[in-house]
Amino acid sequence: MGHKVKLDFLTTVSPKYAREIIDSYVTPLGFESLSIKSCLGRVLASDLISPEDLPYFDRSLVDGYAMRSKDSQGASETNPLVLWKKGSVRVGELPKISVSEGECVYVSTGAYVPSGADSVIMQEFTREMGDVVEIMKPVYKGENIVRMGEDIKKGDIIFKKGKRITVHDIGIFAALGLTKIPVFKKPKVAIISTGDEIVSPDEKAGSGKIRDINGYLLDGLFTKLGGETVTPGIAKDEIEDVVNKLSLVKDCDIFCVSGGSSKGERDVIAKALEKSGGRILFHGVNIRPGKPFLFGLIWDKPFFGLPGHPLSCLIVTYRFVVPFFLKVAGCSETSPKTLKGVLITNVPSSQGIEEYVNVRIIPKGREIFVEPIFAKSAVISVLTFSCGYIVVDENREGYEKGEEVDVYFYES
């Protein structure tokens, strides 16, 4: 699979082939067990099976009288029926009494409905007079009761492995007493920006120097997506420096190195990868932007050589690295959010190359319009006003105004 790096030209592979190669290197990470309060946003490492019935017992939904529905037949305001009040059950209590024919028991909202009763009549439709209660309307079987197990049954699979844990899921965990949640470990992502011209954001730019953007974009992105990021610093365009920075973060699960991967005098990433004992699986993909995109293995871990231009770096990352990262993170949902919309201008492109174009969306009533943003790749303010990108298939020479396209959303 590995081929020698050619410095003079890039032999490109198709984006489909690139994705297949990348996907063949997904290796799942281990598990850890987290408390219910620290698992928000993490990814379930196994199916969760309900250990209990929910509700745990027949509960009253109202303040009223637990009774047998039969005993209410024919009751009305003008012709109330009379039941013996046998006692009451407060919320939090286990009933010590049961309900027989002609009897009722006062229950509060949420209280355990005593055995024998099959319904609860709301207090509003009764009149309590000493030891007896007048029933002024009929109730049906099950009225105002939520039955044990009606909500969730013991043994039900309540969540599937690979689900990202939401706020609402945590409510279900709490209800079922699931306080230790098995989640996948966070993938550890090494992020290195390379380039002689790159300085840290706290240094002065100008005089040919520019500040590191990719390192911060990727750090934010993989943090947001649930990764742990490790940033050993900016590397010079020197093989030794890149090799050295990589060796500082050997224990990572995924390596992202941006810059220095295009053809020409600066092709140090490929050489640094090989010098570190890694190998290249492809170098160059038939896409725009991002043609010099490189994928390989280092210490048997996936290694991504990303473009130096921030917009190109980001789009290649969203398109190729993020779905892979999410698979490694154990997520069952790895595709970006998409939305269909109608183009408001033509999008020219060349046949034979898969092209990505930043867009913004303009909702108008129930229609979604899509506006392509054509910008020089160095113009990073595009980051703030594009919400995603569209893909022009390699078999097409662009799209025409009015065509429907899929918008792939960025994280925000």
- Within positions 268 to 307, which residues make up the interface with a second copy, using CB under 8 A? none
**Of residues 143 and 301, the one with the C-beta less far from a second copy:** 143
Q: Which of residues 96-125 bind a second copy (CB under 8 A)?
A: 108-112
Q: Is residue 89 a contact point for a second copy (CB under 8 A)?
A: yes
Report the nearest approach of a second copy to the CB of residue 21 (Å). 26
Count of residues interacting with a second copy (CB under 8 A): 93
Query: Among the candidate windows 177-185, 270-278, 343-351, 395-403, which touches a second copy by CB under 8 A?
Result: 177-185
Query: Among the candidate windows 10-18, 163-171, 248-256, 277-285, which touches a second copy by CB under 8 A?
Result: 163-171
Q: Which of residues 335-354 bind a second copy (CB under 8 A)?
A: 340
DSSP for 29-70, please give it.
--EEEEEGGG-TT-BBSS-EE-SS-BSSS-EESSSEEEE-GG
Contact pick of 93, 101, 228, 333 for a second copy (by CB under 8 A): 93
Contact pick of 25, 65, 125, 173 for a second copy (by CB under 8 A): 173
DSSP category for residue 120:
E
CA angle 353, 354, 357 (to 5 degrees): 120
Contact pick of 262, 276, 286, 349 for a second copy (by CB under 8 A): 262
Q: Is residue 406 a contact point for a second copy (CB under 8 A)?
A: no
**Of residues 30 and 264, the one with the C-beta less far from a second copy:** 264
Contact 280, 309 (CB under 8 A): no
The tokens for 315 are 């789009």
Q: Do the strands 48-49 and 59-60 form a parallel or antiparallel pair, or are they unpaired?
A: unpaired
Report the nearest approach of a second copy to the CB of residue 110 (Å). 6
Q: Give the largest Cα separation in the chain, rounded.
A: 99
Report the nearest approach of a second copy to the CB of residue 228 (Å). 13
Closest CA to 120 of 35, 59, 181: 59
Dist CA 341 CA 359 (whole Å): 11
Residue 273, classed as helix, strand or coil, is helix
Residue 169, classed as helix, strand or coil, is helix
Q: Which of residues 183-202 bind a second copy (CB under 8 A)?
A: 195-198, 201-202
Report the nearest approach of a second copy to the CB of residue 192 (Å). 15
Q: Which of residues 3-42 bind a second copy (CB under 8 A)?
A: 36-37, 40-41
Contact pick of 21, 377, 403, 409 for a second copy (by CB under 8 A): 377
**Of residues 178 and 243, the one with the C-beta less far from a second copy:** 178
Contact pick of 4, 8, 131, 376 for a second copy (by CB under 8 A): 376
Q: Which of residues 205-224 bind a second copy (CB under 8 A)?
A: 205-217, 219-221, 223-224
Report the nearest approach of a second copy to the CB of residue 149 (Å). 11
The tokens for 402 are 């009015």
The tokens for 341 are 């919309």
DSSP category for residue 320:
I
Report the nearest approach of a second copy to the CB of residue 288 (Å). 14
Contact 386, 373 (CB under 8 A): yes
The phi and psi torsions of 170 (rounded to 5 degrees) equal -60, -35
Dist CA 388 CA 367 (whole Å): 17
The phi and psi torsions of 168 (rounded to 5 degrees) equal -70, -35
